[in-house]
């Protein structure tokens, strides 16, 4: 296959740019949604901390390992881990959207898209569509341009 005719090549470039623009917006939205969902883990942190620090004592013998303080600590730990992981994924998703706009770090975009595929249904849809768009040769060439510009600047000096 040879070069595309000029108007068809221009149409393909326009379509790629539009798809990448939309993907970046959807990454921002999914990242914000993940950050908001992560806030619900704070409920477990607060409830677990309240249970762990409460003066309640169990009337069961000491042989039982599940005291209110232990269970409350588990709630707080799991809630904290949920918040941290949710916010980490949210931050990486938003950063992937920024990288799409700047046409940088395609490997990061691939990794974040694969992780987003685990978030059924919206993350899966966004992850699959991102992987499909990023695998186009015309899109891959847009992400290679910054490297070419750096090489040209190095050769010029």
Is 136 within a domain? yes
Residue 64 has what pLDDT?
A: 65
Is 61 within a domain? no
Pair of tokens at residue 41: 């883990």
pLDDT tens digits, one per residue of 34-91: 999 999 999 999 999 988 887 766 565 566 677 778 888 899 999 999 999 999 999 9
Hunting for tokens 């990061």 — which residue is that?
108
Global pTM value: 0.80
Is 128 within a domain? yes
**Which residues, 6 or more positions from 85, have their beta carbon under 8 angstroms from its beta carbon?**
38
User: What is the residue range of 44's domain?
Assistant: 6-56+66-156
Is 18 within a domain? yes
For the chain, what is the domain count? 1
pLDDT at 149 over 60: no
Give CA–CA dist 57/125, Å, rounded: 48
Is 1 within a domain? no
DSSP class of 26: H
Is 119 within a domain? yes
Of the pLDDT bands very low, low, confident and very high (cuts 50, 70, 90), residue 151 is low
142: nearest Cα among 131, 151, 150, 134: 134
């Amino acid at each position: 296959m040879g070069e595309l005719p000029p108007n068809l090549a221009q149409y393909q470039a326009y379509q790629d740019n539009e798809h990448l623009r939309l993907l970046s917006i959807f990454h921002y939205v999914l990242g914000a949604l993940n950050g908001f969902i992560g806030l619900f883990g704070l409920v477990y942190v607060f409830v677990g901390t309240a249970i762990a620090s409460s003066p309640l004592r169990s009337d069961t013998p000491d042989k039982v390992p599940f005291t209110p303080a232990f269970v409350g600590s588990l709630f707080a730990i799991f809630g904290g881990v949920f918040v941290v992981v949710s916010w980490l994924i949210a931050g990486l998703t938003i950063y992937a959207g920024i990288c799409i706009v700047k046409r940088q770090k395609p490997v990061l975009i691939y990794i974040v898209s694969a992780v987003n595929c685990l978030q059924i249904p919206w993350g899966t849809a966004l992850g699959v569509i991102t992987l499909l768009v990023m695998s186009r040769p015309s899109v891959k060439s847009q992400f290679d341009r910054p490297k070419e510009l750096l090489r040209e600047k190095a050769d010029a000096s």
